[in-house]
């Protein structure tokens, strides 16, 4: 089984890092020497392979076509969100994710058009790493995986579980799966072409802290503890990582 987003390099998190100004409260990075070496390898691969490919894709693809590809990919992973929401006991979320998948797969032409959002059915993203967190599994150390990029041990396990349980894998057709994952990589990277100037200072630290903050944000479903308030801040959007 090939990994979805097999070339998700560290730079792919730049868009989510835009709002990162503070170091996460807890950074557990005992493997930093190894992680820094992997970051250098991944960054080189991105510079020479993924980024040029994404730039070409962005140049030749009309905006409407790019949005259609993005919608299609999101629809495929609504399938995973449905089952993870069930496993988490988030039955309202599973209803949203399942409804989106059914509506967009039919009325939305296999997900190319996001009809569900137009009907007021907003995304409810879930992954198996988040499911493990709900079940009480700790996040473990931060790790920079070769080619795949930044993860925690928990989110890495969840990533592989979701990959094996995704529609491209379940179809058991290698050419289709490879094509899907390749397009996903390119589309995702193309959407971040304008975000590269966001990185400042030590690029590894910036990326690591950005990932950990955004991952915590996602696992907690947008609820961020505020030391200056008795209430949690609710985020309007949160994205899968």
pLDDT of residue 54: 96
Q: Which two tokens stand for residue 97?
A: 């994710």
Does residue 117 have a pLDDT over 80? yes
SS3 164: helix
Residue 25: its pLDDT value, please? 53
pLDDT tier at 228 (50, 70, 90 boundaries)?
very low
- Percent of the chain scored above 90 by pLDDT? 69
Q: What's the CA gap between 81 and 93, in Å, rounded?
A: 8
CB 171 within 8 A of CB 180: no
Q: Phi/psi at 218 (nearest 5 deg)? A: -70, -45
Contact 227, 207 (CB under 8 A): no
Interior CA angle at 215 toward 225 and 229, to 5°?
10
Cβ atoms of residues 222 and 211 within 8 Å: no
Q: How far is CA 234 from the centre of its chain?
A: 20
Q: What is the model's pLDDT at position 199?
A: 76
Tell me the average pLDDT across 155-174: 94
pLDDT at 241: 43
Backbone angles phi, psi at 143, to 5 degrees: -145, 135
State the average pLDDT over residues 203-227.
84
Question: What span, in angstroms and rounded, lies between the C-alpha atoms of 91 and 114?
Answer: 22
Rounded to whole angstroms, how far apart are CA atoms 55 and 47?
11
Please give the average per-residue pLDDT across 68-96, as a whole number: 97
The full set of domain ranges for the chain reads 10-220
CB neighbourhood size of 233 (10 A):
10
Q: In this predicted structure, which of 100-114, 171-185, 195-209 has the lowest mean pLDDT?
A: 195-209
Average pLDDT score over residue span 130-143: 97
Q: Is the model's pLDDT at 223 over the cut of 90?
A: no
pLDDT score of 230 more than 80: no
pLDDT on residue 196: 73
Average pLDDT, the chain: 85
pLDDT of 2 > 90? The answer is no
The residues with which 151 forms a beta bridge, in sequence order, are: 143
- Retrieve residue 68's tokens: 């259609």
Averaged over 51-67, what is the pLDDT? 95
Confidence band of 234 (pLDDT split at 50, 70, 90): very low
pLDDT for residue 146? 87
Residue scoring higher pLDDT (66 or 10): 66
CA dihedral defined by 171, 172, 173, 176, rounded to 10 degrees? 50
Q: Is the pLDDT of residue 227 over 80?
A: no
Phi, psi of 193, rounded to the nearest 5 degrees: -65, -30
Does 185 score more than 50 pLDDT? yes
pTM of the complete model: 0.82
Identify whether the C-beta of residue 214 lies closer than 8 Å to the C-beta of residue 24. Answer: no
Contacts of 70 (CB under 8 A, 6+ apart): 187, 191
Which pLDDT score is estimated for 193?
A: 86
């Amino acid at each position: 089984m090939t990994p979805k987003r097999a070339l998700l390099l560290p730079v792919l998190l730049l868009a989510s890092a835009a709002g990162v100004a503070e170091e996460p409260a807890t950074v557990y990075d005992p493997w930093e020497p190894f992680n820094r070496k992997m970051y250098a390898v991944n960054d080189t691969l991105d510079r020479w392979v993924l980024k040029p490919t994404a730039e070409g894709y962005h140049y030749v693809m009309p905006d409407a076509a790019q949005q259609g590809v993005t919608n299609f990919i999101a629809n495929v992973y609504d399938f995973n969100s449905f089952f993870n929401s069930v496993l988490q006991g988030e039955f309202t979320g599973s209803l949203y994710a399942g409804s989106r998948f059914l509506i967009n797969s039919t009325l939305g032409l296999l997900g190319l058009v996001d009809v569900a959002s137009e009907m007021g059915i907003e995304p409810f993203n879930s992954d198996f790493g988040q499911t493990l967190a709900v079940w009480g599994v700790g996040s473990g150390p931060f790790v920079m995986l070769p080619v795949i990029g930044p993860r925690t041990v928990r989110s890495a396990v969840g990533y592989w579980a979701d990959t094996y349980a995704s529609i491209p894998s379940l179809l058991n057709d290698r050419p289709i799966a490879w094509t899907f994952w390749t397009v996903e990589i390119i589309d995702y990277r193309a959407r971040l072409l304008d975000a590269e100037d966001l990185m400042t200072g030590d690029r590894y630290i910036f990326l690591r802290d950005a990932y950990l903050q955004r991952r915590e944000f996602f696992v907690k479903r947008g609820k961020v503890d505020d030391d200056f308030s008795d209430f949690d801040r609710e985020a309007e959007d949160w994205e899968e990582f």
